[in-house]
Amino acid sequence: MNIGGVVWEILRGLSTTFRAMFEKSVTIEYPEVKRPVRTRFKGRHYLQRYENGLERCIGCSLCAAACPADAIFVESAENTDEKRFSPGERYASTYEINMLRCIYCGYCEDACPTEAIVLGDNYELSFTDRRQAIYTKEMLLQSVKDPTMTTPRQVEPGVYTRSIPVMQNPSD
């Protein structure tokens, strides 16, 4: 074993350490300063509404079928003109996501035909109890910009017959 070679390797390793000591720190003071997330980041789930306040979710359960972790539970019910939650025939009477099982893959977002479920950029999720990790429909809808928008609503008979609004021609 060559003693000079061992000493040389130790000095080379120490030079790397000393160089790193004088570089600027990359530490961020987390609660006060938050790093921006990437545009494709998938964080907390939200249920969206239409501009008129009706929920986008039509209770089709495609998100639950697409979920590889089986973290989503959807139970649907029929809409009436007196109590209308969403456009179309059905709405999600129960919508729950078990956040402990969720792997944040975004398949639910891709599978939704009405773009009701979206994954936002909030990554600050914490639970002290297993029951807190199950996000209910009310918790998922709390992201509404106007908190006065509530469902169900009473609408004119026959106004909402489609679950996905008819696309308008931009030239009209």
Q: Where are the domains of the chain?
A: 45-143
Other C-beta atoms lying within 10 Å of the C-beta of residue 96:
18
Q: In a 10 Å sphere around its CB, with 0-12 CB exposed, 13-18 middle and 19+ buried, how is residue 111 labelled?
A: middle
Instruction: Please name which of 44, 37, 43, 46 lies closest in space to residue 112, comparing C-alpha atoms.
Output: 46
Q: What is the pLDDT of residue 1?
A: 59
Identify the H or E element spanning 96. strand 90-98
Q: What is the pLDDT of residue 111?
A: 95
Instruction: Share the mean pLDDT of the chain.
Output: 85
Q: What is the pLDDT of residue 163?
A: 57
Q: What is the pLDDT of residue 44?
A: 93
- Per the omega criterion (within 30 degrees of 0), is the bond before 152 cis? yes
Q: Is the CATH code 3.30.70.3270 the one for domain 45-143?
A: yes
Residues contacting 135, CB < 8 A, separation 6+: 45, 96, 97, 99
HSE-CB at 6 with a 13 A cutoff on CA atoms is 3
Q: What is the pLDDT of residue 31?
A: 84
Rg (the chain; Cα; Å): 25
For the chain, list residues with pLDDT below 50: none
Q: What is the pLDDT of residue 109?
A: 94
